[in-house]
Structure 1
Amino acid sequence: MRFIKLLLLSGVVFGTLIFLISLLFPSTAIVERSGVIDAPISTVYSQINDLSTWPSWNPWAAPDVAQKIEFSSPAAGEGAYYTWSGMHHERPVSGKVTISKSNTGKELVYALDFSSMKPMTGTFEIKPSADGNATAIQWRVETKLGMLPWWKLRGFLADKLTGPQLESGLTKLKNICEKK
C-alpha cells in the first residue's frame, strides 16, 4: 500500500513539475524562412495569390498528402480558399487554406486549418531585393499553442518540424517563378 501511495504521489509531483516547466515555454510558435527569387514581384505575387497554383509548390498540398483538392471560385484574392483531403501514413488528413488578406505586390495572409493540429496563420511578405533586380520573400507561419504542456513542447520543436517544409516550398516556388 505504501508503494502505491508513493507511486501516485510521484506521478502527481512529476505531472505538476512538467506543467510548471511548460509555463516557461512561449504559447505561440513562429517559424520563418526567407529567400530571393530572380523574378519580378508581379510574377511571385501571382503565384502566392492564386491558390490553384499552390499544389505545385506548397508542401502541404503535395500529391502524397492531398489526393482530393477543391478550390473556391475565384481561387485568387481575399476570401479565396481551397480544401484538401487524403491519406498520410495510413491516417486520414484534411485541411483548408483561406486567404484573409491580400495586399497586391506586398503581403498575403492566410489561415491554415489542418486536421489534428492547431490552426495556423501564414504570411508572405514580398519586396524588391536589395539590388532591385529580384524579389525578396519571407514566409512566416504562426501557431497559437495554448497552455497545454504537450502543445507547448511541440511548439518548442516547431522550427525543426516545419522549417524544412517551408524551405522546400520556397525552393519550388523559386524554380517555378524563375522559369516564367
Structure 2
Amino acid sequence: MRLLKLLVISVIILGGMMFLLSLLFPSTAVVERTGAIHAPIDTVYAHISNLKDWEQWNPWARPDTTATLVYSNPPAGAGAWYSWEGKENSGRVTVLASDPSKGIHYLLEIKNMRPVTGGIELKPTADGKSTAIFWHMEIKLGLLPWWKLRGFVSDRIYGPSMDSGLTKLSKICEGK
C-alpha cells in the first residue's frame, strides 16, 4: 500500500513539474518560408488568391485523396473558402484578407486540431522582374504541455512541405 501511495504522489509531482515547466515554453508556434519567383506579382497572386488553384501547388490543399472538396462562389478574394470532408479528416480554409499588391491571409481549421492563421505575402524584388514571397503560419498552442512541446518541432513537421509548395508554385508561375 505504501509503495502505491508513493507511486501516485510521484506521478502527481512529476506531472505538476512538467506542467509548470511547460508554462515557460511559448504558446505560439510560427513556421515561415521565403523565396523568389521569377514572375510578376499579378501572376503569383492569381495562383495564391484562387483557392481552386491551391490543389496544384499547396501540399495541404487535398490532405485526404478520398475527400470531397466544396468551394465558395467565387473561390477567390476575401471571404472565399473551401472545405473538405474525407475518411481521414475534415476542415476548412477561409481567406481573411486579399490584396493583389500584398497577398492573402487565411484561417485553416482542421477537425481535432488547433486553428492555424497564415499568410502568403508578396512584394516585387529590387530589380522589379521577380516576386518575393513570404509564407507564414501561426499556431496557437494553448497551455497543455503536449501541445507546447509540439511547437518545438513545428518547423520540422511543416517546413519541408512549405518548401515543396513554394517550389511547385514557382514552377507553375514561371511556366516550367
Shorter-chain-normalised TM-score: which range?
over 0.9
**Counterpart for residue 179 of structure 1:** 175
Number of matched pairs: 176
Correspondence for 1:162: 158
- Cα distance in 2 for partners of 1:11, 1:111 equals 38
Rate the CA distance shift 1:104–1:175 in 2: closer, same or farther, 3 A: same
Task: Indicate the residue corresponding to 1:52 in structure 2.
Answer: 52
Structure 1 residue 63, shift from structure 2 partner: 6.6
Match of 1:14 in 2: 14
Counterpart position of 2:80:
80
**Aligned equivalents of 1:85, 1:147: Cα separation in 2:** 29
1:97-112 mapped onto 2 (5 Å cutoff): 97-112=93-108
> How far apart, in 1, do the equivalents of 2:103 and 2:61 lie?
21
Residue 141 of structure 2, aligned match among 121, 145, 167: 145
SS of 2:132's partner is: strand
Q: Distance in 2 between matches of 1:148 and 1:124?
A: 29
The CA deviation string for residues 69-125 of structure 1, in whole angstroms up to 9 with x for no partner, is: 1110000000000001224xxxx2111000000122212100000122100001111
Which amino acid in the other structure matches residue 170 of structure 1? L
Deviates more, 1:58-67 or 1:17-26: 58-67
Aligned partner of 1:2 in structure 2 is 2
Structure 1 vs Structure 2: percent identity of aligned residues?
Answer: 54
- When the two chains are superposed, the root-mean-square deviation of aligned CA atoms in Å is 1.4
Moved over 2 A (4+): 62-67
Secondary structure of the 2:112 match is: coil
Q: 1:63 to 1:28 in 2, by over 3 A?
A: closer
Query: What letter corresponds to residue 8 of structure 1 in structure 2?
Result: V
TM value normalised by structure 1: 0.93
The structural deviation recorded for 1:66 is 5.8
Structure 1 residue 67: Cα displacement: 2.8
**Which whole-Å deviations, capped at 9, do the CAs of 1:133-167 have from their partners, x for residues lacking one?**
10000000001111111111111211111111111
Map 1:26-41 → 2, pairs under 5 A = 26-41=26-41
